[in-house]
Amino acid sequence: MPKNEEVVEPVEESLDLPAVVEGEEDTTDYKAEALKLRDKAIAQRERTKILKKEIVDTKKALETIAGAKKEPSPVKTGELDETQLDYLDLKGISEAEDIKVIEDIVKKTGQTVRQALKDDYVVSKLASNKAKRDVQGATPSSTKRAGGQVGDVASAAAKFKETGVLPEDRDLANAVVDSIAKAGNDRLPPWQR
């Protein structure tokens, strides 16, 4: 053996088992030892469960004594919650622009939805929005007698063919492109072009 190497002897762990001497027969009851270890593990798990339950019980007791148990306050994100939206729907306010007006007022002033509905500004703004919607709903669609309307696909397509510029309204621009594509499709029957 070289002088530089150290001899490392294996370390035996104590397993609480009786030592066996050479030449002697092993009389250890391994089943009994295994049962003891199992019972010890079960007892430890039971103690841990009891300890956890006691910790939870003491926390609950401390919360009730200190009055620390409070309901979490709703986080205000600037949006109306479901009950407020249901209330507005019950009052007949379901348009997105009307809800936005009320939402802004509630956020800026800190009023409740009921208080905001009584505000003069909100009442006048809602009436103005309703009048605009009524006017847009009452405007007749394009007919032969009505002349060219702003949203007429045929006039927008003719203007596109002249200038090469699509309308800014996305839906109208899509309709113009579709109508031009149909007109150029010779696989469609003439009444569908």
Closest C-alpha among 108, 136, 138 to residue 122: 108
Residues 79, 96 contacting (CB under 8 angstroms): no
Half-sphere exposure of 54 (CA within 13 A, CB side): 6
Residue 70's H or E segment, with its range, is: none
pLDDT of residue 169: 87
pLDDT of residue 153: 85
pLDDT of residue 187: 78
Write out the chain's pLDDT in tens, 193 residues.
455 555 555 555 445 555 556 667 777 788 889 999 999 999 999 999 999 999 999 988 888 887 644 555 554 556 888 999 999 999 999 899 999 999 999 999 988 999 999 999 999 999 999 999 888 877 776 666 655 555 588 888 888 888 888 888 888 899 998 888 887 777 777 777 6
pLDDT of residue 65: 81
pLDDT of residue 37: 92
In whole angstroms, give the CA distance from residue 27 to residue 18: 9
pTM: 0.37
In whole angstroms, give the CA distance from residue 102 to residue 124: 12
DSSP letter string, 54-99: HHHHHHHHHHHHHT---PPPPP--SS--HHHHHHHHHTT---HHHH
In whole angstroms, give the CA distance from residue 54 to residue 177: 73
pLDDT of residue 43: 94
- Angle, helices 153-163 vs 170-183, to 10°: value is 80
Residue with tokens 């509905």: 117
Taking the domains of the chain in order of start, what are their residue ranges? 31-68, 82-136, 154-192
Residues 102, 122 contacting (CB under 8 angstroms): yes
